[in-house]
Each structure stands twice: as structure tokens, then as C-alpha cells.
Amino acid sequence: MSKQKEALRKVDWVVNGYECYHLTGSSLINGLISAGFMIEECQEAHLSNEMMAQYPALFGGTIHRPEFIFFRCRKSN
């Protein structure tokens, strides 16, 4: 199985030189499970059509891939 490169990245998104750490979805989920969390809900972030229309240069590309993912978790016993 091939693994995508997980690493610190600097991108121009909203501000120039924004730093983010890229992880695969499976690394995020398996990390939560390994830490003893039970995932109750998962949601991907999305922008409203109004925000994308108002700031197309900043947010136009985010329609293809969410920049954030949110998990509601509970610590299992």
C-alpha cells in the first residue's frame, strides 16, 4: 500500500506562508482510535456560496477539497 506524504506544508491560503501539517484521513482516524477515542460524528468544513462568490481568489479552490475536518469524539473506557 502506498502512503501519501505526511509533512508540514507552507501554502498561500488566505495569508501567504500559512503553515499546516498534512495528514491522511486514515492517520487522523487511526490516531484518535489509538488514543482511546470513540468517534461519534465527522463533518467536513465547507464555505457558503456567498463567501466563495465574495472572495473567489481566496476561497474558490476549496470547493474541491475541504481544508478542515471535525470529529466529535468521546473517550472510551
pLDDT digit string, tens, across residues 42-61: 998 877 888 878 887 776 65
Give the pLDDT mean for 11-36. 88
Contacts 24+ apart (CB under 8 A), 21-30: 25/69, 28/69, 28/71
| Contact assessment for residue 40 and residue 74, using Cβ atoms and an 8 Å cutoff | yes
pTM above 0.85, yes or no: no
